[in-house]
Amino acid sequence: MLNSVCVEANVRVDNTGLKVSLPVIVTEDGLLRSYLDYLIVHRNKSRSWLDRSAFAVRLLIDYTKQNEGCFENPYELFKEFSNCLYTGTIGEDGEDPSWLRWKPRTDNDAGFIIKLITNYTDWLAVQYEEKKLQLNPKVKPTRYEEWMGLAAHYQKKRRAFLSHLWANKPDPDNYRNVMAKKVARSQSVESKKSFPEGRIDDLIWDGFVRYGFETSERIHERLDLKNVLITMLMRIPDQGCH
């Protein structure tokens, strides 16, 4: 489930002729301006760092959007976002009502994603604090900017709050139990061979959408056709050789 796109933009930061190419995030409400400002400040980072940072922020956007109304306060939302990086979002029955379809990540990968997001919210908190700018009162903020602003507010209120919260893995006992059940399920012959009959269209049309091409009207651009064709071939019953 994707609630944003990442597009390449050539940004001019001053009156010289120089431009910098950056991976900016665009949501259904428009450009995530605060993140663009953040990237401009950090534009001399490696390209891999810039791309991974944008990817991390998009994960938070997706999780927040797909779980609106599920938590009483931002603390619980951020905590569960962190947990889902480690454990994934797919239940024991293979279902995921959020449609995120995240698989469990390694400790290093999850930790790096958390660090990238924390760096952004740390920077954003400082901007709000120094400029006395919570949100521009003349411009109605988008909900996505409001979500990022909430994270920054917690950073301002309790320095390093998010980094401490997000750096903690889920409870070890619960985490091991969840992972043990997932391993047992993956070892089941039946679970390997079965796929819900009524969901094949969802898999083909929603499961192979390419990053950056989510809104393209051209099927060959929007979908990863190689994997689509492989999936379709796997669905053809074995008729034997003739």
Q: Whole-prediction pTM value?
A: 0.61
Q: Answer for the pair 101, 95: CB distance below 8 angstroms, yes or no.
A: no
> Could you tell me whether strands 20-27 and 4-11 are parallel, antiparallel, or unpaired per DSSP bridges?
antiparallel
How many helical (H) and strand (E) elements, i.e. helices and strands, does the chain have? 11, 3
Burial tier of 98 (Cβ tally within 10 Å: 0-12, 13-18, 19+)? middle
Q: What angle do CA 122, 123, 128 make, to 5 degrees?
A: 100
Instruction: Give the tens place of pLDDT for each residue, 71-114.
Output: 877 778 888 898 899 999 998 888 888 889 999 999 899 989 98
Instruction: Give the tens place of pLDDT for each residue, 151-185.
Output: 666 655 555 555 566 656 665 455 445 545 544 54
Burial tier of 82 (Cβ tally within 10 Å: 0-12, 13-18, 19+)? buried
- In this model, does residue 43 exceed pLDDT 90? yes
Q: Delimit the domains of the chain by residue range.
A: 47-193, 195-235
Q: Please list the residues that pair with 21 across neighbouring strands.
A: 10
In sequence order, the 6+-apart residues with CB closer than 8 A to the CB of 26 are 4, 5, 6, 7, 32
Question: Over pLDDT 90: what percentage of the chain?
Answer: 25
Q: What angle do CA 144, 118, 23 make, to 5 degrees?
A: 60
